Amino acid sequence: MLQLPPLSLYVHIPWCVRKCPYCDFNSHQAAEEIPERAYVAALIADIKADLHWVQGRKLHTIFFGGGTPSLFSAAGISEIINAAEQLIGFEPNIEITLEANPGTVEEQRFHDFYQAGVNRLSIGVQSFADRHLERLGRIHSGAQALSAIDTARSVGFDNFNIDLMHGLPDQGQIEAEADIQMAMDQGAQHISWYQLTIEPNTEFYSRPPLLPNDDRLADIQHAGMCLLQENGFAQYEVSAFALAHKESLHNLNYWQFGDYLGIGAGAHGKITLVSDQSVIRTTKTRQPDNYLARVGSALAQNNAIANDEMALEFMMNGLRLKQGVPAEYLSPRTGLAPSSIEKQLRSLQSQGLLVMDSAHYRTTPLGYQFLNTVLQSFS
């Protein structure tokens, strides 16, 4: 029987200074003036429209993603946080993360974000090498990235993630390792280290850059993983590495099949409905102008996950975690009995792809390497 999992809030702010050529997220180059006041009002109306999905819970985490949320004023971010607290309420020690671009912040703005209640930053560095930043279309330099990190620390942030990419055009192993070392030297507690991929509907897809070959990519991946592990960064998700107790609580709730309200243009949500014994996925109106025109009624899609898709949905999230997902979450978060997936589990175990114990469903190192093959067993 379904039970209510923890509830998070995802807030999407869709504007950027400039659209990066590799980005396939719902982001839009900002005009001279962003309609911040109207958008904040629309976000609060969005929360109010979704209150029936809260079902008595308090918020476990909040994540401001984009786009570039640090383009908004601290006053606007504060207004959203305060509205969420008043309308829903917060669990003790709530994690509130804001994505920040090093080219859009200065000391006063970081200070004001901290005072507004943001207690975790995710800083989109991508690389500290100017030549790679230029090739990626980033608006900041390596020096600006270092300055932003130093500023974040100086105003009180002691929990921050640094986003880094590898497999960049003409990038070698030494350069990739240098980026990781620099992030660690700057005091990062969490590093998201992910490979550049060419996605449809991006500038890079239309004009693909020359990327490192598979052998070089494998060398970069191996060297980077070793460097992170040697310095106490444990891989807890496919591209996420953290020092002890510094994992992203928002990400963990997502991968453990928790619930999250999604507000803002194009935001996605997942909600458990105990009364209906169903789990739904929601999507808000994608285009910012359309979203602003539909204040309080921005829901574009609301689809229940079919029962025969539930196991795949659960495992597709949970098995991305290096330690797997607690077995005790299966029934209350999907409504499925453990016996319903026993055949698949035993088959994967016999192939050396999955470990079965009373505590977790998790892959073996081989299974983690061939995760898509593992997931096909549940489709």
For 273-331, the pLDDT digits (tens) are 999 999 999 999 999 999 999 988 889 999 999 999 999 999 999 999 999 999 999 99
Do 46 and 121 belong together in one domain? yes
Q: What is the pLDDT of residue 106?
A: 78
Q: What is the pLDDT of residue 304?
A: 97
Q: Any idea what the CATH number is for the domain that residue 370 is in?
A: 1.10.10.920
Do 144 and 223 belong together in one domain? yes
Kindly report whether the global pTM for this prediction surpasses the value 0.85.
yes
Q: How many domains does the chain have?
A: 2
> Which among 228, 253, 278 is the end of a domain?
253
**15: Cβ contacts below 8 Å, ≥ 6 apart:** 27, 28, 29, 30, 34, 66, 67, 68, 71, 288
Tell me whether the omega of the peptide bond preceding residue 67 falls within 30 degrees of 0, making it cis.
yes
Beta bridge partners of 302: 282
How many residues are present in the chain?
A: 379
Task: Determine contact, residues 14/68, Cβ cutoff 8 Å.
Answer: no
Both tokens of 102, joined, read 């090093």
| Phi and psi at residue 47, to the nearest 5° | -60, -45
Q: What is the pLDDT along the chain (379 residues), one digit of tens a residue?
A: 999 999 999 999 999 888 888 888 888 887 778 999 999 999 999 999 999 999 999 999 999 999 999 999 999 999 999 999 999 999 999 999 999 999 887 788 899 999 999 999 999 999 999 999 999 989 899 999 999 999 999 999 999 999 999 999 999 999 999 999 999 999 999 999 999 999 999 888 899 999 999 999 999 999 999 999 999 999 999 999 999 999 999 999 999 999 999 999 999 999 999 999 999 999 999 999 999 999 888 899 999 999 999 999 999 999 999 999 999 999 999 999 999 999 999 999 999 999 977 799 999 999 999 999 999 999 9
What per-residue string of b and e applies to 350-379 under the rule 16 or more CB within 10 Å gives b? eeebbbeeeebbbbbeebbeebeebbebbe
Do 177 and 67 belong together in one domain? yes
Task: Determine contact, residues 298/284, Cβ cutoff 8 Å.
Answer: yes
Distance CA 45, CA 59 (A): 17
- State which residues form the domain around 338: 306-379
Distance CA 54, CA 46 (A): 13
Question: Distance between terminal CA atoms of the chain?
Answer: 21
Do 312 and 373 belong together in one domain? yes
Q: Is residue 368 part of a domain?
A: yes
DSSP H helices in the chain: 36-49, 74-87, 107-116, 130-135, 142-154, 173-185, 203-206, 214-230, 249-255, 288-293, 310-318, 330-334, 342-350, 365-369, 371-376
For 10-49, the pLDDT digits (tens) are 999 999 888 888 888 888 887 778 999 999 999 999 999 9
Residue 146: closest CA among 188, 199, 208: 188
Beta bridge partners of 284: 299
**Strand-strand pairing, 278-284 and 268-273:** antiparallel
Helix (H) or strand (E) holding 157: none
**181: Cβ contacts below 8 Å, ≥ 6 apart:** 227
Do 231 and 348 belong together in one domain? no
Q: What is the pLDDT of residue 30?
A: 77
Q: Any idea what the CATH number is for the domain that residue 65 is in?
A: 3.20.20.70
